[in-house]
Each structure stands twice: as C-alpha cells, then as structure tokens.
Structure 1
Amino acid sequence: MKYTIPKMIVLGSLLLTALAAEAKTWRVNRTPGVHADFTQLQLAHNNAEVRAGDTIYLEGAEDLYNSFALSKRLVIIGTGYFLAENPGLQYRPLMAQLGSLTIDSSASGTELYGLKISNLYINSDVDNIRIIGCSTSLNGNTSRLNQRMSNWVVNKCYLYSVSYSGANYVFENLQLTNCIIASSVNVPYASNTLFRNNVVSSVVTLANAYVANNIFLTNSTGLSFVNCAVKHNLSSTNNLPADNNNQRSVDMTTVYRGAANGTAETRFQLIPGSPAIGAGEPVNGVTPDIGPFGTPDPYRLSGIPPIPTIYALTVPSAIPTTATSMTVTVSTRSNN
C-alpha cells in the first residue's frame, strides 16, 4: 500500500498522539541515594508530564511523605501497612506513609492501593473513588459545605474511623466491605450503601444501607440503623434485630482469636467452631463466613496491593575476586 506524504504526516501525528495518551508509571521515593522519578507525591502530581490516568508507585521509606492534595485522577500504589507485624509479605518492610491526603472533585476516578494515610479528607463532588487495602481514617473536610459523593468502593482496608456525620456529607452508592474498623462508623446521610463483611469495634450509625455479614463489638446502645436491611450479622450484645439470621449476645471468645493471640489484624481471624463460620448471607452463590475474612475476596493482611512483590532476596555475602558471576535468588508472588 502506498501513501502520499500528507497521509504519512497525518498517520505519524496520530501515532504520536496515541503514544502520548498512553498511561505511564512513575516512581516516588524519598530515601536519599535512591534514583526515583520524584521524592514526594506532590512533586509528581504537579509535574505536567504526569497526566490523568497515570500510575504512581509510592515506595516504602523510613519517614512520612508530606501531606498531599490530589486534584488529578491517578492510580497510587503503596507497599502495604503493618509489614513488621506480618513478616514475609515484603522483603523490605517499609510502609508508604502519608500525613494526610485531600481529594478534590477533579481527582474523581482515582484508585488508592496499599497506602498508610493518617487522615483522608474529601472535598465536594468527589466520585468513583476506589480505596483498596489502605490503612486510614475517612473524614469529611469540615471547611466545605454541600458535599456529595457517589460510587465509592472501600474494600479490604484497616480503618481507624469512618466519620461523615453532618448533613453536608451525602454519600450515594457507597460500598464498604471486608474492612477492619478499629473505632466507630458514622454515616447517617447516605443512600444505597452496602456495608458487608466488616468488623467494627465501636458505635455504628448508618442510614439507607444493606447491612450484612458483619461483626459488631459495641455496647447495648451502640448500633443505630435507619431504614436499613440488617441480616446475618453477629453482635456481642442484644442490639441487633432478632430476625433475619442475626446472632445476638454472642461470647466473642468463641468467635475469633482475640488480642492475646493475634495482631491488630489477625486477632479477627475466626477460630475452629466459631458461630461466624458459614453463617453469612450468600454472596454470588457462595455462603461466606461472617466478618472481614469472609467472601471469596477476603481481607488481605497488611493491605498488600494486587501486584507482584519480592518477599525474599538471597545474595552471597562475599564472592571470590576471580569470580565472573554470582547467584542471586529472588522470591516473588503475584498477589492477584
């Protein structure tokens, strides 16, 4: 096939445009001596070459990364959290930690994986956010009014609290599943919320939600469900509806390992004979356990992201001066 010069120029321009539009990946590492693309997330975010849809790998470091304001749709992947408590998951047990993260509406569509964030704030009209395997507290930004958020997925996270208590914080289509929540959940202004397979250690306030397969560890007045379907849950006190296969006043020493026998995460793994085993509402044809480790996509220790990781590395401590090669063993897993 023959092309005229003008046609070749047009085809070449289209090819260059397509290549420029492809999402790129970038490295951020603040450790001195490490040659990464950037040393801070904000520097990467503000760089014109980092475009919406790109992926940023935030690598583990000894110190916190600076707090960060996000106004561009990105995929940000960290290394996980509680790595020292769960040895063998990452070769270098350094977390990718942020002081705080504030998400603006122009960052709608952002995905976060494996990050340790002290506080995660949102401004108004932030939609289609995915937070997978992160450790953080979810809070509204009290300086903004009339915040509406839709289509959020919060999955397999270790959350210190979830607080969107004012009428200014309206969630639509929030999914909060397979999470460990160390304190309270307060989302009284929402519609079409899915709250499933979590464990919550304190007060829960939900409205217009489907509440199933959860473990609640609170006092007798600590649960408030307004216009909610509440099914197949388990509670330490008599504060759940008596119907819909809910289990009330359960002795928690018969349910999971407990603090004396596990870490902040593994303490909630079920023990043999637990009344939570096989007691959940069926999900996609499978009858799961109650709690965060139930369902075919359970809570993952340390929030290890779904990308390949190196969990072991063996390098000779010394080699002969005459050697022309050496053997290095790298152990990896896919984490899919």
Structure 2
Amino acid sequence: MKPTLFYFSTALTILFLVSNNAYAKIWRVNSQSNFNNTSNWGENYGGTPSYPVFKQINEAVASASVVAGDTLHIEGSVITYNDAIITKRLVIIGPGYFLTENTNVSNTTYDAKIGWIQFNPGSEYSQLIGMNIINDGNTADGKVYVTVNDITVKRCRMERGVQFGTLLTDVYILQNYFAAGTNTIYTNGNTAFVSPSNIYFNNNICLTTLLWANKNILECNNNVFAGPANVLNLDFNTGSFKNNILKSAGITANINGGANNNVQYNTVSNSGVFVGTTGNVWEPNMTALFVTNSTSDGNYKLQAAATNNVAGSDGAERGAFGGASVIKRYTLSGLAAIPVAYDVTTNGVSQPGTGLLVSVKARTIN
C-alpha cells in the first residue's frame, strides 16, 4: 500500500495549492518515474500524457506545459536528482529533511537530494523550499547558485551554501539549515564581483561561518551561529543584526568593521563579544540555554525555563525558532507552509458501497 499512500498525501498537497492559486499548475517530479517525453509519462507513479510525472527537474523546466508561476513538487526518493538549471519563475518545493528524526513531518522517510541548483535569467522571483542540497562528490556540489534578482532560498538543508552572481538585488536566505562546511555564502570568484545590494539572512541555523568581509547584508536577524569554536565566525556589514545567538565557545565576530553599529539584543557565548550593545546577554553555559537529546535541528530550540532565554527586540524569543511572526520562524525539517499528511493508514479491505476506508492524520505547517 505504500505507493498509494504516498500518492494520497501528494494529492492533498496539490489540492491545497490549487485551491490557493486557480491559475498556476502544480507538477510532480519523481526521480524514479519512467518519464521519457515520448512514450512514457511517469505512469509508474500515476502520470498521464496531459499531466506527466517528470523524472528530473530539468525536464519539467524544459516542458512547454510548465509556465512561469507554476509549482514543481519534488518528491522524496532514494535516487539523488540530477543537478538543475532554472530558467522560469517557479516555486520548487521538496519534502524537507531530517524526516527520520522529527515526528509528524512526513508519511515517508525520503527527502529530495540534489547536488546543485542554479537560477538563471528568466527565473526571477523563484522560490526554492524544502530541498536537501548535498555534496555528491563534485566541487560544484552543495550550493544554490543565484545569478538573477529576487530569489528566495527557504527551509533548505545545504552542505555548502549560496553563491551569488554579480550586481544582484533582493536575495532572501530564510529558515535554512547550513551543515558544517567552509562558509554559508560565496562570491562567484570573479575579480569584478559586486555583492548583492539586498541580502536578507534571517532565522537560519548555521554550523559554519558567515564571512563576507567588507560586503553588505541588509538584515541578519534571529539566527543561531554554531560554527567552529574559538575563531572568527562572522565578518560583514549590516543594517540590522539582532536577536541572534552565537552558540559556539569562544566565537568572535566583526560586524560593521568592529564598530558594532546596528547590533542589539543578541545572546553570546563569549563575554568579549558585543560588549556594551543594547540587550546583549552573555551565556557562558550554552547547554543550559538549548534543549538537549532532540534532533539535528531540534537541538537548536531554547529551553523555555532557561535563565538567559530572554526576549529579543520584538518581545519574542531569540534565535532561529524566534521572532514575532510565526511564519518567519525556522520550521523543523524545513517543511513548506502547506498541509502535511504524516500518517495515512488502511486495512486494505474495500467495504461494499463505501470503497476503501483510509485514516489520515495531517497538520498545517506555518
């Protein structure tokens, strides 16, 4: 019954998205589909000639049926997806990550892994949500490449980070999980590189550094920085650095050239960081602040009763799970803001006159 149950939960997602946008279409992509664009249309996963289940993201992007404003639902699979280049304005939604760790997040354990995704001209205003960007053995892997304006990378797990083209504006890096690597954001390596004018870097969990020396990040709020201990983890200029938690022991930072302008309401592990800034809190024992024995991303939640779990600038909790707006907070497993059917069961026996009885447990993600 597994395939049937999976299709059922996918159908719930599609129905929700269709009801909220009567004009845009939702297309399924599954790396185990038999789609070949000539004789097979993903029938093995419920596809049809008019509504195929694509095998790869690039096949969906190349299809004339898939137009700007559509959504690609990238289904979890044991097979890693081919690297993808996006040339249309699309919303690309994966099933999230750490699905075997967090509860009530999926009725399968498969995430959607890919080495890299690149947003090229034509893809402006696209969104990437809920994907697992992995290092699959290639030097280019583990990154999202942004070469156009107005791209949102949200609720993804990344083993390296985001690399920018030159002279961009309005790039949103929100609610992501950055695994331990060399950095979170990168230039394209060109000597003429000019950094994006507006980078929003909010509510992320970073197990690596954010080194962007002499370059600007418009907002850097409500993050947890848990990169290498006893070294410089943060180096950039910003108009807003607040409600962050610097978790690693001995972590240091260079914000706005060390002047600490626009730095306020942060919690730090190092007593020498952000001294004298508004709302600065020193927590020498971070294990007393964070929960323990949880999941890979759940361990970055705060203990409600912790002495130094104090409100940030907006009166809400600090860190990735904080902020006054619930929909802007980090979400366990990077789930998209759509209903999730996390348990679908049936006894497999069809009842006369009623059909197959199915029990569904679902919840809505913010």
With the length of structure 1 as denominator, give the TM-score of the two structures.
Answer: 0.83
Residue of structure 1 in register with 2:28 after alignment: 27
Distance 1:184 1:317, change over 3 A: same
- For residues 35-74 of structure 1, the C-alpha deviation after alignment (integer angstroms, 9 at most, x for no partner) is 3421100111111221122111111111111111122211
1:263 to 288, 295, 301: 295
Structure 1 window deviating more from structure 2 (115-124 vs 299-308): it is 115-124
Residue of structure 1 in register with 2:186 after alignment: 164
2:273 to 229, 235, 240: 240
Residue of structure 2 in register with 1:139 after alignment: 162
2:145 is the counterpart of 1:122 = yes
Kindly state the Cα deviation for residue 222 of structure 1 after the two structures are TM-superposed: 2.9
For the residues of structure 1 that align with 2:217 and 2:204, how far apart are their CA atoms?
Answer: 18
For the residues of structure 2 that align with 1:294 and 1:221, how far apart are their CA atoms?
Answer: 21
Residue of structure 1 in register with 2:241 after alignment: 211
Kindly state the Cα deviation for residue 293 of structure 1 after the two structures are TM-superposed: 1.2
Structure 1 window deviating more from structure 2 (161-170 vs 85-94): it is 161-170
Which one-letter code corresponds to 1:35 in the other structure? Answer: G
2:225 to 183, 200, 206: 200
Residue of structure 1 in register with 2:137 after alignment: none
Kindly state the Cα deviation for residue 226 of structure 1 after the two structures are TM-superposed: 1.8
For the residues of structure 2 that align with 1:87 and 1:69, how far apart are their CA atoms?
Answer: 33
Kindly state the Cα deviation for residue 257 of structure 1 after the two structures are TM-superposed: 1.6
Which one-letter code corresponds to 2:302 in the other structure? Answer: L
Quote the sequence identity (%). Answer: 26
Higher Cα Rg, which structure: 1
Stretches of structure 2 that go unaligned for 5 or more consecutive residues are: 1-21, 34-43, 135-141, 228-232
For the residues of structure 1 that align with 2:205 and 2:245, how far apart are their CA atoms?
Answer: 10
- SS in structure 2 opposite 1:31? coil
Stretches of structure 1 that go unaligned for 5 or more consecutive residues are: 1-20
- SS in structure 2 opposite 1:44? helix
- SS in structure 1 opposite 2:60? helix
Kindly state the Cα deviation for residue 319 of structure 1 after the two structures are TM-superposed: 5.9
Taking only aligned residues, the RMSD between alpha carbons, in angstroms, comes to 2.4
Structure 1 window deviating more from structure 2 (302-311 vs 242-251): it is 242-251
Q: How many residues align?
A: 304
- SS in structure 1 opposite 2:240? strand
Kindly state the Cα deviation for residue 23 of structure 1 after the two structures are TM-superposed: 2.5
For the residues of structure 2 that align with 1:66 and 1:40, how far apart are their CA atoms?
Answer: 6
Residue of structure 2 in register with 1:6 after alignment: none
Kindly state the Cα deviation for residue 276 of structure 1 after the two structures are TM-superposed: 4.3
Residue of structure 2 in register with 1:309 after alignment: 340
- For residues 16-39 of structure 1, the C-alpha deviation after alignment (integer angstroms, 9 at most, x for no partner) is xxxxx9422211112252134211
Which one-letter code corresponds to 1:289 in the other structure? Answer: E
- SS in structure 2 opposite 1:223? strand
Residue of structure 1 in register with 2:330 after alignment: 299
Which one-letter code corresponds to 1:224 in the other structure? Answer: N
Structure 1 window deviating more from structure 2 (273-282 vs 169-178): it is 273-282
- SS in structure 2 opposite 1:62? coil
Residue of structure 2 in register with 1:48 after alignment: 64
Residue of structure 2 in register with 1:289 after alignment: 317
For the residues of structure 1 that align with 2:354 and 2:281, how far apart are their CA atoms?
Answer: 66
Residue of structure 2 in register with 1:175 after alignment: 200
